[in-house]
Structure 1
Amino acid sequence: MSRTRTSLDGEWEFYPDPKQGLTHQTLRQEDARSIRVPGPWQAQFDDLRDYSGVAWYRLRFELPEEAVRRYGGTAFLHFGAVDYHATVWLNEQQVGEHEGGYLPFELDVTEALRPGSNELTVRVIDPGNDADFLPEFAFAEIPHGKQSWYGPVGGIWQSVHLERRPMVHITSLRITPNVPEQQALVRVSVSLPSDRPLSLWLNVTDPAGQVRRHRVLLPAGTRTEEWTVPIPEPMLWDTATPHLYQLEAVLLDSSDDRAEPLDTVSSGFGMRTISTSPSGHLLLNGQMLYLRGALDQDYYPDLIYTPFSDVQLDAQFAKAKHMGLNLLRTHIKITDPRYYDAADRAGILIWTELPNWQDLTENAKRRARETLFGMVERDWNHPSIIIWTIVNENWGVDLAVNAGHRAWLADMYNQLKAFDPHRLVVGNSPCFTNFHVVTDIEDFHNYY
């Protein structure tokens, strides 16, 4: 039983709602604009270039009755990212909501989905600087990055798809390389604990195309388990030879290899290390690394936040390497995963960071932590990412005079290092008037 995925990208109906008077039942097709998904609304309508507030999306799509009956299982609606808060209805039934403008979310729509015609509606709140507008989403308290500089970005800016899966399916596949031991730690999570043991094939394809298969057991009643798989004589990922491995996890309901798999998920990964030396150097795979980097705002001429095609991303990274660069720093923005995929392929190192907020309130702390750890979890398998930054240039904190802010940043650093000890972390990446509190790298921004 294999997954079936239906892309919902394309033209949707769009309804700006500045007076917050619409509901999912009062949208009139004659009032609709046509909008491209994915892509922020500010990039697609001149009169909405600076609009923050509420807007509605609607899509009607067909689902063949035979496909529903043949497949069974569960159905999930997946959004790559919606900025900032989304409430979702399918066929007049509210199926969920999500807060946060940069990370993926998915909703179980098994009960709401029906054969034939379906209607999907999404209400999006994009907070602005008006403190009286929906105070539960105060702009100063949410991670928003350079939106306070370059203008608002709102709406469905990453891809949307519908996916049908078996009832018991793989929800997470995390791969942690261990180069010195010539092995990788593989962590698999499933949707439901089984009342009996399940089998997994972990099939590793090396960069030369050789496949090694490893059979492991997921004990009954277990949703998450880890195993170590050997990676003999690993072909290392680096900037000159970005060797990529592929791991396929195949979930089986039986010890019989001929049984139809319950589910299959795959991910790329690379065997590499990043560290610092006692003499103060960066080390990639144990060799001294000199960074030649550029700051990438990760904004695009057509759709602002939404990257252009994979081919164009590959061309962009090829040009960066031709210029002599080996690193790009994605500036206070969590980008589309396709960007990191392209960096993995090209052998470009990535220094990425948490989008900033303005006021470090308790709500801001909660959102910052959720966003930071969600980013690390989503992008765990990318070998190109070598550095995380929590705060850039004191934005959203006041480190010079506020001891509580310094304590909070040190605690966040310690939590992040405990969660991901395999990369470097910068607490505050400083410029004049501010400084490091705790960091793995003594960086500083000089402005001339």
Structure 2
Amino acid sequence: MRNEYPRPDFVREQWKSLNGTWDFYEGLRAGKLQIEVPFVPQSRLSGIGRTLTSDEILYERQFTVPREWEGKRILLHFGAVDYRCSVWVNGQCAGTHQGGQTPFTFDITDFLNGVEEHLRVSAVDYLSDEGIPRGKQFWKDRGEFIWYTQSSGIWQSVWIEPVESAHMEWMHFTPDIDKGTVEITYQVSDHTPAPFLIELDIRFRGSQVHTGVVEGKGKRGKIIVDVFHNKALCGAFHFTGWYWSPEHPYLFDVSVKLKDGECCCDSVETYFGMRKIHVQDGKVYLNNQPYYQKLLLDQGYWKDGLMTAPDQEEYAEDIRKAKAMGFNGCRKHEKVEDPVFLYWADRLGFLVWESMASFWSFTPQGGTAFAEEWSQVIQRDYNHPCIVLWNMMNESWGVPRLYDNRQQQHFARSMYHMARGLDDTRLVIANDGWEMTENDICAFHTYKHGEQDEPRQQERFRAGVRSLEGLSGLVERPLFAEGFSYEGQPVLLTEIGGIAIRAEHTGGGAAEESWGYTGADSPEAFLEVYERLIRDIYDSDLLCGFCYTQLTDIEQEQNGLLDEMHQYKADADKIRKINDSKATTGSFSTVD
């Protein structure tokens, strides 16, 4: 059961999980079943585990509000519900939300009866609508090989928490390692009386860095804290030990109190990392040093939970295993991941390219829904230092005429500029794979590295990854959309590999059900192919990193480094030795 605090970058002491057993109905007239929230009904862990035949599903449960919360405002939080939902409390509509990847909150105080409360959630997932952002969830013919089982309804945690009428709504931390400062922007609730006080306590590895009180007068405000106390000017090398990186995931812990005079209205625990990502001279720089990214494509699926991990430890374990194999990050694919995953990426040190679920057919309505939801993603995940890039569309999904259609080009470019406008501290890719318009990185996909018995294709790949001209022969569509060309950005292969270890050698399904872009007959043979692939990539002076497909086996795709139960398929130490044959960064100092 998922009972960890669902929003670990904005923690309040008092809260109550509403995960667990709910009543469930498929359609308005269906019989009552039982479901385990937050697992979707299509998953085994939900207790139902079957394909739905109705677009509309209903959830119901009773809950009580702890007596000690009396007099407080009660907030009802949903991590994510796919796709459109309405919420009723004691028969009264508390609110509606659209978007399957993003959180929402309702103040339900005025709907409570003070005894046993009745909660009802109606979720509608339009299974045949090609304009809905759904990522890799199939919506039509299950025979299409790249789609996965649908995930409808509640798929992230549900919880309640008490707040005063005056409370913090959000805080964003923007680090500047060059100045040694962090800019803190915040928003308070509408009923916060002005002037109010915000008390900050910032700690680094147990030692106090800053404490202070500032006066606020409006709904939103800004605070700038000199984290390095201007000592960075005379001790810059020492302060690199305060930076966040995969090698040293240092974080600053923050306690925030909102006060009305001497009265504390709200108290929140959060954190931030001093981290910088930028491009320069055709390379990616992390904390002002060139950094070679060794990423894994991560779909974020589990055999028994589908889009929802069975336990929060599963997120941490995936990251630990990826790092044990010598990878320093992941490219999330067609899914906005649970904030608990991002928390562990922050804590353990793992780069994340945050992704959005694509829609399939371009319409202005679908584009609007995508843009609205994507802006909410940036708002939700702004504080996570692990996120170094906003990665929106994939292989022209949703914009199939991107190459020469001006409307679709304008849409892709608008997504780039919107992300840049909302967050200018991270890199942005509008379309990953090919047909580049405006991107901070040229991100290309190719699986044409050659089977074991294809030496000519192997040589073609080896030569092709050394120049843009050569890449154009390896990528399925034009590298750039019509009217656009290379402007000196870093070049990365952001999907490569996809090598399937034949199932009979790994304990998976039948060999004929295994699928990958190429194959290997044993774990040992896989390591030979993988070493060749990575050596060819490392020999290219053009490339600044790669993303290997993929972390785990998923349903029909048997091309993971881990199997569908997230266990190693080949020797992790040997994979790490191959990956470590090229350094990722310059030196980092440590703080004792």
Q: Comparing both structures, which one devotes a greater share of its residues to strand?
A: 1
Distance 1:218 1:404, change over 3 A: same
Deviates more, 1:328-337 or 1:307-316: 307-316
Mapping of residues 68-87 of structure 1, within 5 Å: 68=69, 71-87=70-86
- Unaligned 5+ segments in structure 2 are 1-11, 139-146, 233-238, 449-592
Please give the alpha-carbon distance, in whole angstroms, between the structure 2 residues aligned to 1:292 and 1:52. Answer: 42
Please give the alpha-carbon distance, in whole angstroms, between the structure 2 residues aligned to 1:411 and 1:98. Answer: 24
Structure 1 residue 273 displacement after superposition: 0.4
Structure 1 residue 388 displacement after superposition: 0.9
Please give the alpha-carbon distance, in whole angstroms, between the structure 1 residues aligned to 2:445 and 2:77. Answer: 39
Superposition RMSD on alpha carbons, in Å?
Answer: 1.7
Structure 1 residue 214 displacement after superposition: 1.9
Three-state SS of the structure 1 residue aligned to 2:382 is coil
Match of 2:16 among 6, 28, 37: 6
Aligned to 2:208: 210
Deviations 1:316-343 (A, max 9, x none): 2111111000011110100100011111
Aligned to 2:134: 144
Mapping of residues 265-280 of structure 1, within 5 Å: 265-278=268-281, 280=282
Deviations 1:298-320 (A, max 9, x none): 11122111123232322221111
Aligned to 1:332: 334
Match of 1:231 among 227, 230, 236: 227
Please give the alpha-carbon distance, in whole angstroms, between the structure 2 residues aligned to 1:361 and 1:216. Answer: 47
Contact 1:343 1:350 in 2 (8 A): yes
Aligned to 2:442: 442
Q: How many residues align?
A: 415
Match of 1:188 among 182, 186, 189: 186
After superposing on structure 2, the runs of 4+ consecutive aligned residues of structure 1 that deviate more than 4 Å are: none
Please give the alpha-carbon distance, in whole angstroms, between the structure 1 residues aligned to 2:409 and 2:21. Answer: 47
Three-state SS of the structure 2 residue aligned to 1:292 is strand
Distance 1:252 1:152, change over 3 A: same
What is the letter of the counterpart of residue 315 of structure 2? L
Please give the alpha-carbon distance, in whole angstroms, between the structure 2 residues aligned to 1:109 and 1:296. Answer: 36
What is the letter of the counterpart of residue 167 of structure 2? H
Structure 1 residue 211 displacement after superposition: 4.6
Match of 2:395 among 390, 393, 396: 393
Please give the alpha-carbon distance, in whole angstroms, between the structure 2 residues aligned to 1:353 and 1:212. Answer: 34
Establish whether residue 42 from structure 1 lines up as the match of residue 38 from structure 2. Answer: no
Please give the alpha-carbon distance, in whole angstroms, between the structure 1 residues aligned to 2:251 and 2:349. Answer: 10
Deviations 1:398-425 (A, max 9, x none): 2123111101211221121121110000
Mapping of residues 408-423 of structure 1, within 5 Å: 408-423=411-426
Question: TM-score scaled to structure 1, two decimals?
Answer: 0.89
Distance 1:319 1:115, change over 3 A: same
Establish whether residue 349 from structure 1 lines up as the match of residue 351 from structure 2. Answer: yes
Three-state SS of the structure 2 residue aligned to 1:444 is strand
Match of 1:175 among 173, 176, 201: 173
Distance 1:178 1:229, change over 3 A: same
Please give the alpha-carbon distance, in whole angstroms, between the structure 2 residues aligned to 1:362 and 1:21. Answer: 34
What is the letter of the counterpart of residue 239 of structure 1? P
Distance 1:46 1:21, change over 3 A: closer
Please give the alpha-carbon distance, in whole angstroms, between the structure 1 residues aligned to 2:252 and 2:311. Answer: 23
Please give the alpha-carbon distance, in whole angstroms, between the structure 2 residues aligned to 1:196 and 1:273. Answer: 35
Contact 2:56 2:124 in 1 (8 A): yes
Deviations 1:374-412 (A, max 9, x none): 111100010000011121100000212311110121122
What is the letter of the counterpart of residue 134 of structure 2? H
Please give the alpha-carbon distance, in whole angstroms, between the structure 1 residues aligned to 2:48 and 2:199. Answer: 52
Structure 1 residue 194 displacement after superposition: 4.2
Structure 1 residue 3 displacement after superposition: 6.2
Contact 2:201 2:208 in 1 (8 A): no
Contact 1:12 1:58 in 2 (8 A): yes
Please give the alpha-carbon distance, in whole angstroms, between the structure 2 residues aligned to 1:287 and 1:337. Answer: 28
What is the letter of the counterpart of residue 159 of structure 1? S
Mapping of residues 20-419 of structure 1, within 5 Å: 20-21=28-29, 31-43=31-43, 44=46, 48-64=50-66, 66-68=67-69, 71-129=70-128, 139-148=129-138, 149-192=147-190, 194-219=192-217, 222-232=218-228, 234=239, 235-254=242-261, 259-278=262-281, 280-397=282-399, 398-419=401-422
Three-state SS of the structure 2 residue aligned to 1:107 is strand
Contact 1:80 1:160 in 2 (8 A): yes
Aligned to 1:133: none
Three-state SS of the structure 2 residue aligned to 1:376 is helix
Contact 2:34 2:47 in 1 (8 A): no
What is the letter of the counterpart of residue 367 of structure 1? A
What is the letter of the counterpart of residue 218 of structure 1? G
Distance 1:102 1:322, change over 3 A: same
Three-state SS of the structure 2 residue aligned to 1:325 is coil
Please give the alpha-carbon distance, in whole angstroms, between the structure 1 residues aligned to 2:192 and 2:122. Answer: 36
Contact 1:426 1:441 in 2 (8 A): yes
Deviations 1:51-84 (A, max 9, x none): 45111111112235x435xx31311111011111
Deviations 1:179-211 (A, max 9, x none): 111110001101115453001111111134335
Deviates more, 1:233-242 or 1:393-402: 233-242
What is the letter of the counterpart of residue 273 of structure 1? K
Question: TM-score scaled to structure 2, two decimals?
Answer: 0.68
What is the letter of the counterpart of residue 110 of structure 2? E
What is the letter of the counterpart of residue 157 of structure 1? W
- Percent of counterpart pairs with the same letter? 32
Please give the alpha-carbon distance, in whole angstroms, between the structure 2 residues aligned to 1:113 and 1:415. Answer: 39
Please give the alpha-carbon distance, in whole angstroms, between the structure 1 residues aligned to 2:255 and 2:366. Answer: 38
Please give the alpha-carbon distance, in whole angstroms, between the structure 2 residues aligned to 1:400 and 1:163. Answer: 48
Please give the alpha-carbon distance, in whole angstroms, between the structure 2 residues aligned to 1:123 and 1:312. Answer: 29
